[in-house]
Amino acid sequence: MPDDRPLSPATIAVTAGRPSAAGDPLNQPIVLASNFRSGGDYTRTHGTDTWAALETAVGALEGGRAIAFASGMAAAAAIVYALTPKVVVIPTFSYLGVRSLLSEYHAQGHVELRPVDITDTAQVVSAAVGSDVVWVETPTNPTLDVADLPAIAAGVNAAGAQMVVDSTFATPLLQRPLEHGATIVLHSGTKFIGGHSDLLIGLCVTTDDDVYDRLVKARTFQGATPGALEAFLALRGLRTLPIRLAAMQKNAAVLVERLRAHPAVADVRYPGQGAMVSFIVNGGATAADALCEGVRIVVPATSLGGVETTIERRQKYAGDAHVPPGLLRMSVGIEDVEDLWADLDANLSR
């Protein structure tokens, strides 16, 4: 193979960060250590080979340098620490954890917030003027709105602000925000990267060396370090992300088509790719709750991105009180799609 031939993302996901010296194990093992012999290295400040392997692989997929954190929220908090914004533009519909974090900073008088409809590019670009950070989430949680990253990035750059993109739903396989001018890409690796609902981990990726150093400093000072087992599991999960995501998307496309034709469904929101589907049932909160209580294969649970299909009504959470009461967010897994549809259809038809 020619040395200059670019590898596909599917190959990078499998190979990046793997030990390569003679006698090395085929896969990066778990490094369980808080300190190391004959030196001043300490895990909180210097990391481990397990972290480094995960960061190498995610960074290679995103086209930047990755930093791993204890959770997605730890990564989000580190971004605020690293960029020290005074004015932040944020989507009205977006992950409630990040909105709650920024709202807390606002309540303490540290930051001004400018909520926007992330699908209204002109509104976002206008709000970016005089801001420090434009926080983009695309697709959004839980409404699956899609932002025009290139156009927003151009406006943010012209305004002299920095753009943060939460790309958790898209994964590094479906979009690469750094190529559009993002300063930082954020992932809750708990979700699709880990892929098995068994870990908490967060990741930031950047091409800016100064921002990278400040993110590492945030992790060090705040103690937001990933666990050894979690980093190992996230890397192992990443290895199968391409085939898991392909199966999830195939299932999602079938379910979306059938949901759109079902008389009990008022609206279906799906951006055309990925494994997240949101749909609104007729009958509001009562009907949506009944569906969640009745399913047997689909799992009524929060979080997302695992091999199993999960569903929940988002408006029941205070932070998502502004979404439609009958909106159900579904993370489509890799089960047989006919079994999934039989489960959903039986409960929708009630």
Q: Per-residue DSSP letters for 170-219?
A: THHHH--GGGGT-SEEEEETTTTTT-SS----EEEEES-HHHHHHHHHHH
* Global confidence as pTM: 0.95
Domain layout of the chain by residue ranges: 9-239, 242-348
Pairing relationship of beta strands 65-69 and 202-206 according to DSSP bridges:
antiparallel
Q: Which residue has the tokens 């927003």?
A: 152
Alpha helices in 196-324 (DSSP H): 209-222, 228-239, 241-261, 284-294
Residue 24: φ, ψ to 5°: -70, 155
Q: Please report which helix (H) or strand (E) contains residue 31, including its range.
A: none
What gap in Å lies between CA 266 and CA 264, rounded to an integer?
A: 7
**Looking at residue 5, what is its pLDDT?**
84
What gap in Å lies between CA 218 and CA 74, rounded to an integer?
A: 9
Q: Which neighbouring-strand residues pair with 133?
A: 88, 162
Pairing relationship of beta strands 112-116 and 162-166 according to DSSP bridges:
unpaired
Q: Which residues are catalytic?
A: 44, 95, 166, 191
SS3 244: helix
Query: What does CATH list as the number for 9-239?
Result: 3.40.640.10
What gap in Å lies between CA 253 and CA 239, rounded to an integer?
A: 23
**Looking at residue 2, what is its pLDDT?**
57
Q: Are 252 and 275 in contact (CB under 8 A)?
A: yes
Q: Are 92 and 120 in contact (CB under 8 A)?
A: no
Q: Are 329 and 311 in contact (CB under 8 A)?
A: yes
* Residue 281 DSSP symbol: E
Q: How far is Cα of residue 259 from the mean position of the Cα atoms in its chain?
A: 25
**Across the 350 residues of the chain, what is the mean pLDDT of every consecutive 10-residue run?**
81 96 92 86 90 97 98 98 98 95 97 98 98 98 97 97 98 98 98 98 98 97 95 98 98 98 98 97 97 97 96 92 95 98 96
**Looking at residue 152, what is its pLDDT?**
98
Q: Which residue has the tokens 């008022």?
A: 266
Which homologous superfamily does the CATH classification assign to the domain defined by 242-348?
Aspartate Aminotransferase, domain 1 (3.90.1150.10)
**Looking at residue 47, what is its pLDDT?**
87
Q: Are 180 and 148 in contact (CB under 8 A)?
A: no
Q: Are 70 and 190 in contact (CB under 8 A)?
A: no
Q: Are 119 and 145 in contact (CB under 8 A)?
A: yes
- Of the chain, the end-to-end C-alpha distance in Å amounts to 57
